[in-house]
Amino acid sequence: MDLSLEPELYSPSINATGEYVDVVPSPSQFKHGIRCPCGSRGQKAYVSSSLFSNHTKTQHHQKWLQQLNTNKTNHFTENVQLKETLHNQQLIISKLEKELHHKNWMVQYLSSQLQAHLTNTPLPLANDLTDCD
């Protein structure tokens, strides 16, 4: 099985006034490419800083950046909600893992009890089963 490395996901930087701004990553960060979440080119991975720099100047990318700046508070609220959801899911997973561990232990215990019972009790012969009708 071959191991494939995914391109990095680009995220804009935040300037001193709190606005999202484009900062083209250094050429060393383009080893496996960079994907832009603006949605203009789907899953295209940019493999050089010059190609990505050209992309950041497109109308679609600029509109996406402007929309990020407009909806900053929504992103914060969404982030808080996602953190809460993640915490709740971790608690649920932990609880289910404990239940699964307990049930596995119970199955193992009951199986050993059944095995012990079967080895200590002789099985009925076929002709002894006639009175079970």
Ordered mean pLDDT values, 10 residues apiece, the chain (133 residues): 78 90 87 88 86 93 92 84 96 97 95 86 54 49
Indicate yes or no: pTM above 0.75. Answer: no
Question: What local confidence, expressed as pLDDT, does residue 43 receive?
Answer: 80
Quick one: which of 72, 5, 16 has its CA closest to 45? 5
Q: Report how far Cα 75 is from the mean position of its chain's Cα atoms.
A: 19
Task: Identify the pLDDT of residue 108.
Answer: 94
Confidence (pLDDT) at 54: 93
pLDDT reported for residue 83: 96
**Domain map of the chain by residue range?**
1-70, 72-118
Q: Which residues are CB-neighbours of 46 under 8 A, at least 6 positions away?
A: 7, 30, 33, 34, 35, 36, 52, 55
Q: Count of residues for the chain?
A: 133
Q: What is the pLDDT of residue 133?
A: 46
Closest residue by Cα to residue 55 from 12, 6, 5, 4:
12
